[in-house]
Amino acid sequence: MGNRIFIISVISAFAVIVAVGAGFISSRAGVCRDFSQGEVKTPITRIQVFIAASQLEQARGLSGCQKLPNHSGMYFPFSAKQSASFWMKGMLMPIDIVWLADNKVVGISAFVPPPSGKLDEELPRYVSPQPVDAVLEVAAGKAASYGLKKGTQIVYEKTTQN
């Protein structure tokens, strides 16, 4: 009888550990998803975007995300036009950085690679070609396939609040 209780206790403890571990893993897998959402319309497609509106959200960005689903990205709105500088700290995938001013593409930093074992202070900075009021990040190579190039007009709309 005592042996049976011990075995049941061990199995129960193991089940709890597995359940907690699975919850932690799934919460990390969703790291890209706990943002407000919106949509960016280009002349040829619609891109579902996670919105990094606060300073904390903008600092985190897509760090830790393993991939972006097709027709998705992250949108960084700024309260005023500014010279923007981005880096790839914590990024796990290459991206295209689309620089926007007045809902128009003013530049694209294409195929920006994730960092490769560099210290934070050694990471390259990617700077906007002029003051911008928003930035759109999409998977590497997707900016062109979404019809985005210098001069392209976009329409941005927030769809959900986090």
pLDDT at 152 over 60: yes
Instruction: Give the per-residue pLDDT at 12.
Output: 43
Q: Where are the domains of the chain?
A: 1-30, 35-160
pLDDT in tens, 1-29: 556 554 444 344 344 333 333 333 333 34
pLDDT in tens, 74-131: 999 999 999 999 999 999 999 999 999 999 999 999 999 999 878 888 999 999 999 9
* 35-160 under CATH 1.10.3720.10, yes or no: no
Other Cβ atoms closer than 10 A to 43? 11
Q: Quote the CA–CA distance of 58 and 106 in Å, as a whole number.
A: 20
Furthest CA-CA distance within the chain: 77
Work out the end-to-end distance of the chain between its first and last CA atoms, rounded to an integer number of angstroms.
52
**What three-state secondary structure class fits 122?**
helix
